[in-house]
Chains A and B, each alone.
Chain A
């Protein structure tokens, strides 16, 4: 496969102003990824700062209640800052520091990646600016305040749809203004090469841990892995170590929003077409003239019109399945997991839980399913209350 490509997908479709920056990043990554000092520092942070390894929890009540496959939850929600985002961010910010950069910038949708970036920047003494769509700053106000508490400047993006896509645009523009001292901490397995590879490598720890943990618990590999997919970093993190295990089904859950029959969804692989945007060739929700479509999901983190190029490739080759889950189904799963297991999941992760609720009863009791619980739901509680018409005083 060509450098930076997953089949026909991937590439480096970015302005010339940024080309040397991604080349420099690739060289630095190749130099430091196996450097003993870099690995030692990163491993220390992963264990003692982020809280890895995250537990693989057997959801006994859920398993009994659904009456099918044994269900395990990979608890990325228990990481420091509350989601899988910290895995990638610690890696990238440490790399930026090794590269001599003094400033990091990042886009964020739900705010989890922004909070993680602001956290790592505070830890490593770097200047930090976060770009977030205006609509997302309103639905994730608590995370905006967290980022500010952590010392980051939050730039409210008012262009376009004022969501994650536009936050990515503005962060790319800011990077092209000030590339000499700034690293763009891209938050998912997307964007120009080498980002999809770097982010996947920092996230593959999720699946590597699952392999070890499930072998300890069950003595064999799982039958099914399920994760939500926006850009797709937590899903690829869970899947990657199992891609060469043909007996393990890989299932990604996209946001069907108010339904695939409406225009209010963000189900890229289910409804999108191949295109070139945000530095990569992949699938995108777009119109017949290639204008990127406004997308929608109750979850700000899944509200993105594209998907990482490696997922596009896994989709085309049939190695992974991509299904769509509606807002309604995600909200029900959010409440179900809260009641059943005492775990309030991120609304993103609730998309994966929702599909597991459908699939588990169809599988035999001898089957094993692992759900990637990518984040915790504290940030979404107010949004769920609003969805249910409940008034709460924050």
Chain B
């Protein structure tokens, strides 16, 4: 069992997302370590992209801030390497396919392995195109995380059968960002997945409150939160760490209370 699957073993996972380099790589490094201490089971690190078509305004703005600060893929690998020497939390890179392709796909995954990255999420690489990266993922032992959406319908079974690590279940239509209401579509998606495989299902997009997290964790295996955390980082800038830590602890508790359900 790899580290990603292990993060779901006998527990409901809380998975925070932050954008690397927002507000700076030094703060990102500290945030990862402190979020892991506060209970984060897996951490998603965004590699900023100029044109993130799956992101709402909050994460898009974080990408712009990070890029303006001079973040590059090389600097992110260096940071992951430093984190790895201090903290064992599984790390997943979240980015778009072009930054990987432009960097050189083989070099990218070789560096992932050397730095200690565990998995990758690429929202603009659907099932039909995943062959662009998966041979390299296999070669270097990096888990390719697949996504399913409320519109996936009959595709869910096809995607779930080949999925590794966990399935990223997009809670609702549209882009990332806080939602007041998350519908019941996601329950049905998870049910379909359960009928074909026992891969863990983590729900993301729109989750921000402990109540939402608890409700989702009651039937899913994990909850992913991005925009709500990035908003805290946006608000407090370099002083964000204690506020993010407090939020992660609160959300982890909400998710944890569902364990054994």
Binding site for B on A (CB under 8 A): 11-21, 159-160, 165-166, 169, 172-173, 176-179, 273-279, 284, 286-292
A288 to B101 alpha-carbon distance, docked (Å): 10
Contact A290 B101 (CB under 8 A): yes
**Stretch in B2-10, B146-154, B233-241, B247-255 touching the partner:** B146-154
Q: Is B175 an interface residue (CB 8 A)?
A: yes
Q: Is B67 an interface residue (CB 8 A)?
A: yes
A160 to B49 alpha-carbon distance, docked (Å): 11
Minimal Cβ-Cβ distance residue in B for A3: B128
The distance from the CB of B133 to the nearest CB of chain A, in whole angstroms, is 11
Contact B129 A11 (CB under 8 A): yes
Q: A15-B149, A16-B123 are in contact. List 19 more A-B contacts (CB 8 A).
A: A13-B97, A13-B124, A14-B53, A15-B53, A19-B127, A20-B151, A20-B155, A159-B60, A160-B50, A176-B54, A176-B173, A176-B174, A276-B132, A277-B96, A277-B98, A289-B73, A289-B102, A291-B67, A291-B99
Query: Provided the pairs A13-B124, A159-B60, A276-B97 are in contact, do residues A290 and B175 lie with their beta carbons within 8 angstroms?
Result: no
Within 8 A of A (CB), among B226-247: none
Candidates B102, B103, B152, B174; contact of A16 at CB < 8 Å: B152
A177 to B147 alpha-carbon distance, docked (Å): 16
Query: Provided the pairs A176-B175, A275-B101 are in contact, do residues A14 and B151 lie with their beta carbons within 8 angstroms?
Result: no
Contact A14 B126 (CB under 8 A): yes
Q: Is B100 an interface residue (CB 8 A)?
A: yes
Candidates B126, B128, B150, B159; contact of A15 at CB < 8 Å: B126
A-B contact pairs, 26 of them (CB 8 A): A14-B124, A14-B126, A15-B124, A15-B126, A15-B147, A16-B123, A16-B147, A16-B148, A16-B151, A16-B152, A16-B159, A19-B128, A20-B152, A21-B151, A160-B50, A166-B51, A173-B174, A179-B173, A275-B102, A276-B98, A276-B101, A276-B132, A278-B53, A279-B124, A291-B99, A292-B51
A392 to B56 alpha-carbon distance, docked (Å): 41
A276 to B155 alpha-carbon distance, docked (Å): 23
Query: Provided the pairs A19-B152, A289-B72 are in contact, do residues A177 and B173 lie with their beta carbons within 8 angstroms?
Result: yes
Minimal Cβ-Cβ distance residue in A for B56: A173
Q: Is B178 an interface residue (CB 8 A)?
A: no
A392 to B45 alpha-carbon distance, docked (Å): 53
Minimal Cβ-Cβ distance residue in A for B168: A16
A16 to B167 alpha-carbon distance, docked (Å): 12
Q: Is B182 an interface residue (CB 8 A)?
A: no
A349 to B236 alpha-carbon distance, docked (Å): 50
Minimal Cβ-Cβ distance residue in A for B175: A173
Q: Is B79 an interface residue (CB 8 A)?
A: no
Q: Is B170 an interface residue (CB 8 A)?
A: yes
Q: Is B125 an interface residue (CB 8 A)?
A: yes
Within 8 A of A (CB), among B88-130: 96-103, 123-129
A359 to B126 alpha-carbon distance, docked (Å): 45
A286 to B72 alpha-carbon distance, docked (Å): 14
A176 to B100 alpha-carbon distance, docked (Å): 23
A275 to B104 alpha-carbon distance, docked (Å): 11
Chain A contacts of B174 at CB under 8 A? 17, 173, 176-177
Chain A contacts of B98 at CB under 8 A? 275-277, 284, 286, 290, 292
Within 8 A of A (CB), among B156-200: 159, 170, 173-175
A15 to B159 alpha-carbon distance, docked (Å): 13
Chain B contacts of A20 at CB under 8 A? 151-153, 155
The distance from the CB of A285 to the nearest CB of chain B, in whole angstroms, is 11
The distance from the CB of B228 to the nearest CB of chain A, in whole angstroms, is 19
Chain A contacts of B100 at CB under 8 A? 290
A160 to B61 alpha-carbon distance, docked (Å): 9
A12 to B175 alpha-carbon distance, docked (Å): 18
The distance from the CB of A103 to the nearest CB of chain B, in whole angstroms, is 14
The distance from the CB of B105 to the nearest CB of chain A, in whole angstroms, is 10
Chain B contacts of A177 at CB under 8 A? 173-175
The distance from the CB of A126 to the nearest CB of chain B, in whole angstroms, is 20
Chain B contacts of A172 at CB under 8 A? 53
The distance from the CB of A21 to the nearest CB of chain B, in whole angstroms, is 7
Candidates A11, A16, A290; contact of B149 at CB < 8 Å: A16
Minimal Cβ-Cβ distance residue in B for A293: B50
A291 to B100 alpha-carbon distance, docked (Å): 10
Chain A contacts of B129 at CB under 8 A? 11-13
The distance from the CB of B210 to the nearest CB of chain A, in whole angstroms, is 26
Chain A contacts of B57 at CB under 8 A? 159
Chain A contacts of B126 at CB under 8 A? 12-16, 19
Contact B170 A16 (CB under 8 A): yes
A173 to B59 alpha-carbon distance, docked (Å): 14
The distance from the CB of A127 to the nearest CB of chain B, in whole angstroms, is 18
Query: Provided the pairs A173-B175, A276-B132 are in contact, do residues A290 and B102 lie with their beta carbons within 8 angstroms?
Result: yes
Within 8 A of A (CB), among B32-91: 49-51, 53-54, 56-57, 60, 67, 72-73
Query: Provided the pairs A176-B173, A277-B98, A286-B98 are in contact, do residues A17 and B149 lie with their beta carbons within 8 angstroms?
Result: yes
